[in-house]
Amino acid sequence: MISQLFAILHYYRTFATWSIAINILLLVFGSLNILVALITKLFLIVLLWYIVNQTEAKQKLTFYKNLGVSDFKLFGIVYCIDAIITVVFLSLINQFI
Amino acid sequence: MIFEIDSVELYFKEKTILNGIYLKAETGKTTSLLGRNGSGKSCVLNIAFGTLIAKYSHIRLNNKPLKKPLYQTQLASFLPQYHFTPNQVKVSVLFKLFNVKWKDFIVEFPELTKYKQYKINTLSGGERRLIEIYLILKKNAKIILLDEPFNGISPLYIDKIKLLIEIEKKHKAIILTDHRYQDVIAISDAIYLIKNGCSKLINNLTELEDYNYLHQGSL
């Protein structure tokens, strides 16, 4: 279980920079609403899952399957991690604005 | 552990790829799949592991039907044809994630000791493949699926991998496919030939010639 979580965290790491960039974009466009941010992130994670499944990037999912991690579990946990970071990020920004 | 897959039907659009596959593997035995390019060997392994969904397939473990993908049981590990490890991950991290001992690895392959802290994508294709094969073979799993494990590997390492397979099969069921038929035959306890979408258990090696998988006199 720990190795699964560690592997998922590694997968998230490749998207972390993009996620922060999207958070900043949301700020730039004046959306500090956490619900809007979470729905946006949900849409993006579904889009990511679709793109990965339609391209050769799908092959990399075999690594996670070898650790017993299904696609749903992988993208679900990635979304949860991202949602927590997004909520913390936006909450902190809200304190200063 | 007895693994069986049967009634496999796979179609890509209108094309029939597999339409009558039965394969049985069990602990203590190496079961091999032979067949021409495009015969569907890799598809069988992918369907068995759960990374490819067939129109129909039926998998049994110890005579009990399996109702979820095999990988979700964590009873199996699968070496695909391509590099499956993520780039940028250190070799030492991969060994930890797969719960495989680095010390045992460098006893077998001392020349790779220096790579412990290297990122996996900085190794040569063959070295990376070798590490991937080792991780899959040594992982704590009951069923090992190997898709072309000898591809891109130098002859000396092939001999070592064959030896590793012989050791690991004592407590694992191993299913492999490769075009190096002489190496495959040397380590196999059971051989299936896939032809015209169907699998045939080979009882006598000359059948490989009779079914036109090998030229007459190849054996």
- Sign of the Cα torsion B97, B102, B108, B112 reads positive
Helix (H) / strand (E) containing A61: helix A61-66
The percentage of residues in chain B with a pLDDT greater than 70, rounded to a whole number, is: 100
Contact list in B for residue A62 (CB cut-off 8 A) is 51, 78, 80, 84
More confident residue, B194 or A27: B194
Please give the pLDDT value at position A31. 66
CB contact under 8 Å between A66 and B78, yes or no, is: yes
DSSP letters spanning B79-95: E-SS--SPTT-BHHHHH
Number of domains in chain A: 1
For testing contact with chain B, the best of A14, A66, A70 (most B CBs within 10 A): A66
Distance from chain centroid for Cα A48: 9
- Sign of the Cα torsion B203, B207, B212, B215 reads positive
Q: What is the mean pLDDT of chain B?
A: 95
A34-60 burial: b if 16+ Cβ within 10 Å, else e? beebbebbeebbeebbeebeeeeeeeb
Does A65 contact B at CB distance below 8 Å? yes
Residue B2: phi, psi to the nearest 5? -115, 125
Please report, as a single letter, which amino acid is at residue B32.
S
Please give the pLDDT value at position B105. 96
For testing contact with chain A, the best of B47, B82, B84 (most A CBs within 10 A): B84
Give residue limits of the domains in chain B: 2-210
**pLDDT for residue A2 is more than 80:** yes
CB contact under 8 Å between A66 and B86, yes or no, is: no
Long-range contact pairs involving B155-163 (C-beta distance under 8 Å, separation at least 24): B157/B109, B157/B126, B157/B130, B158/B183, B160/B108, B160/B109, B161/B130, B161/B133, B161/B137, B162/B186, B162/B187
- How sure is the predictor about B217, in pLDDT bands with cuts at 50, 70 and 90? confident
More confident residue, A57 or B137: B137
**B20-68 per-position pLDDT tens digit:** 899 999 999 999 999 999 999 999 999 999 999 999 999 999 999 999 9
Please give the pLDDT value at position B191. 97
**pLDDT for residue A95 is more than 90:** no
User: Taking residues B70-91, what's their average pLDDT?
Assistant: 95
Residue-number span of the structural domain to which A10 is assigned: 2-96
Contacts of B128 (CB under 8 A, 6+ apart): B83, B85, B120, B121
Q: Domain B2-210: which CATH class? A: alpha beta
More confident residue, A25 or A84: A84
Nearest in space to B138 (alpha carbons), one of B110, B176, B100: B100
- How sure is the predictor about A1, in pLDDT bands with cuts at 50, 70 and 90? confident
**A13-65 per-position pLDDT tens digit:** 888 888 888 888 888 877 668 888 899 899 999 999 999 999 988 998 999 99
Q: pTM for the whole thing? A: 0.91
CB contact under 8 Å between A60 and B86, yes or no, is: yes
ipTM of the complex: 0.91
Q: Which has the minimum average pLDDT: A89-93, B186-190, B205-209? A: A89-93
Helix (H) / strand (E) containing A93: helix A71-96
